[in-house]
A and B are shown apart, each in its own frame.
Chain A
Amino acid sequence: MALWIQISPGSSEPIYAQIVAQVGRAIATGQVSAGDKLPAVRTLAGELVINPNTVARAYSILEQQRLVNTKTGSGTYVADPKLRHADAVRLNILTERMDNIITQALNIGLSEHDIKRTFEDRLKKFGTKPDGGKRKK
């Protein structure tokens, strides 16, 4: 299980949001794959020294985002990406967000070319592993 989560209380981001963001990123960058089991709520809570309810809340949000599945009695597992794609609602939200970003980018004076290049750069970063190694496509 290659998932390392670190939280900092005292940040302006709530703890559960930090967990959601980190698990989400781990899934997006391929650090964990479909079918991998996330740490049990109690275990993660004990490791991070936080309330188990906070972990449970993060997992529940991840489940709403269709990034993970919880099987009662068994645990929480990373969801199959194919099933994620069927989420039309999420796609709509994402498109809206993209529109926002494009609008803002155009407003501050970026050209279409700049916007594309910046996006590609960022996308590339997700293709690399955190230790700098590249991921095989």
Chain B
Amino acid sequence: MRFLALLKKELREALPWLLLAAFILAFCSAIFIGEYTRWRRDFDEPATMSPRSPVRMDTFREELQLRDIGTLLLYTSCGLGLVLAVRQFLVPSFLKTWAFTIHRSTSRTTILLGKFTAAIIALILSCGIIWTLFFWYASKPGLFPMPLRQRTFAEGWIIITFGLVMYFGTVLSALSTARWYTTKMFGLAFAGCTFMLLLLQVSLALCLVMIIISLVILVSQIIHTFLNREF
């Protein structure tokens, strides 16, 4: 009952950003598909596509055509993660609504879980759904030269999960009460490091492991900080 009320509130606050991310992703994917159906004719000229992309995972690397969409997915989910963290944890400080939120007949942990759940749902609903739609459409016979693999689909989801790492990293930085030049940036820096490691890693399993480790570290730190923080 109380958790649901909190969740509803957080989701409603996340809605505009969720829709914005979904729109950007959908719009750019549509452009990409439109472009690609033209490129299909010029299959011998892959140089028209961007040679550099942070997405190095197996299939995304192999399939040059997919590199762009992979980049887009990464930046959109990271952007959404960052924005959601700001909305949930910095805006209340700015608007001074923490006192009202914290004094509830629930534990602080429940309040935190409400925010986390909303962020996860937002990422799934926006990036997840658009990616799924894109993948379903792009899998239609005749669009791409070779059938898109299941693996690609999974890797897309892992990229979206990185958006979650970005979210938690930003949350930790937002909650920290240290000065910006000391430990406050730890959360963001941590997410950044994971990002760098992701650039080097190419195996699916390793990416997943790294992301999970990051999540565990960030979430435990966040819970500890939030439960002891002053408002």
Say if the two chains contact directly (CB < 8 Å). Answer: no
- A interface with B by C-beta (< 8 Å): none
